[in-house]
Each structure stands twice: as C-alpha cells, then as structure tokens.
Amino acid sequence: MRGKQEAKRKSAPKLWAVGGGKGGVGKSVISTLMAFWLSRMDKRTVLVDTDLGGANLHTLLGIKNPTRTLNDFVTRKYASLEDICVNTEVENLRLISGAGGILSLANPQFVQKVKIVQSLFRLDADYVVLDLGGGSSFNVLDFFLVSHQKIAVLTPQPISIQNAYAFVRNAVYRRLSQLSRREPSVQALVKTAMDPKNALKVRTIKELFQLVQDSDGTGVVEGLQEEIEKIRPAVIANMIRTPKDKNASRIIQLVAEKYLMVHPSDPGSVVYDEQIDKSVSDMVPLTKLDQSSEAVASVYEIVMKLM
C-alpha cells in the first residue's frame, strides 16, 4: 500500500493548458473554475498563472499580494516550483502566481522556459492547470503544446472565433516548425506557408504536406502528420447567451479539420452568468460562487469529460 502511494506521488501530473488567442474571452475564469472542480474531486491541483508579463490570477482566488511568484523561481530565489506554491482557501488547490509587471519575464529566454516546463512536470500534484496569457507568442504556444489537455476558449463573437482559429493554426505551425528544425528545406516551406498570403499559395496543411512530399519524400510527411494529429484541442465556447451561440465551437472544428488536419473536440459550452462578472468586478473569489450556478455547473461537466 505504501509503495503504491509513493508511486502516485512520484508520477508526473497531467497538464491542462487553457488558451485561445487574445484576452477577454474568460480564460482565467475557466482555468480557475476547472482547478476548483478538480480539487473538489480530491485531485491535488496546482493552478499556474503563466501570463509572465501581466499576472492577475491570484485576484480571482482572493489572494491580494502573493509573496512568491514565478520570478522568484526563475531568478533562483527559490530552487523549486514547490517552494513558490501558495495554498488557497480550497482544499487540494494551490496557486503559482505569475510575475506580474516584471517585463524581463514577459519573454523569458529559452533556457528559462525549459526550466519552467520541466519543473511543472515535477510538481507534487495530480493536475496542473495553466492559465495562458493572451495572444499567440511562442511562449504561449509552447506551454500549450507541451500540455496533455490543450484547451481553447472563445466567445460566440465572430472576431473571437477568428482569433481562436488563428490560435490553433499558430499552434500547428509552431509544432511543424519545431519538428522540422533538422530539415532546413522543410522548415523553409513551413515558414513560408505560415503566412496566409504566402507566395506558394498554400492554404491548407494538406497542400503543405504535398509540397514537402514532392521535395523530401513520403517518410518526412508521415512523421509530421502523425505528430500534428496529436494536437486535438478541446474547444470551449464561453459566455453563451442563446442556443445558436454554441455553434462557435463547431465552426472551429469544421475549419480546423479542413485546413489544419487536426480534429478538435467539443466538451461543452459555458453560459453567460452575471454572477461571474460581479464577482470579478467586486474582487470576490470565484471559489465563493454558488455551485448551482449554471455556468459553474457547466465547467464541472466539461471537467468530467476532459478527465
């Protein structure tokens, strides 16, 4: 029995990354509620604010001034991520605060990023939920790509749908760029195809793979395709007000399958809830929300599907 418990403690946690392009779609709220429900399911959970340039996740948990942040880890003030974890009022839930306002960490060096990623997998936890920053910087995409569960959040507005698709597209091309580092000719094709208005008139990943096959052979393409198919983002439509709004996730699924050769899942949507807006405005911890709230309950259902 003791051996099994020790093995459980030593096993690497499952990483869930919550992204989706530009801010304002509710990534932090979704991340917080996901971490809350995982902890309520008796899963040792660490919520990580990876917005290294403008961290604010601690405010959603009612923590005013975190005494330890990612900056303390990167600058070697603390040797381990475990040392900067902060307990919350919720049992089984800890927080790693981002380095808000520290511009040097908005774009960490490669070595710093690798150090953070490797340390995430060493945390004493069952689940680690990463609240990604806005946009599609390499840092955001790299955290997204190393995670077991890749979650893209969007709202029903057309611009948000476009941003979410662009985020998934950027993730696919970022992965292709990583995979082709030792194949200069392939990487050159990938770099060209990244531009939606590229001179080669490549519009889909399938067309890109055909060019790669023509120049470097079938073997290279098979390897790339196998890796790309592993990118299966879970697309969550947030702040849903009408049944029609739920189609936002389906749009991403259809377009991604057609143009990117990836197959996103649709684990569910989250309805708009005034309680959440009020809690955020009044700086009331989201963990204090009424659990019977439809939005909070929706996140519970999504978590159950993603586990």
| Segment 258-293, tens digit of pLDDT | 999 999 999 999 999 998 988 888 888 888 888 888
Which pLDDT value is given to residue 52?
A: 61
SS3 45: strand
Q: Which domains does the chain have, with CATH numbers?
A: 2-147+273-306 (3.40.50.300)
- At 88 the pLDDT is 93
pLDDT value for 1: 42
pLDDT tens by residue, 150-178 = 999 999 999 999 999 999 999 999 999 99
pTM (2 decimals)?
0.92
Contacts of 232 (CB under 8 A, 6+ apart): 150, 262, 263, 264, 265
CA 307 to chain centre: 15
DSSP symbols for 204-267: SHHHHHHHHHHHH-HHHHHHHHHHHTT--PEEEEEEE-SGGGGHHHHHHHHHHHHHH----B--
* Residue 215: Cβ within 10 Å count: 13
Tokens of 177: 């760029």
Segments of the chain with pLDDT less than 50: 1-8, 102-104
Q: Residue 48 — φ and ψ, nearest 5°? A: -120, 125
Contact 250, 161 (CB under 8 A): no
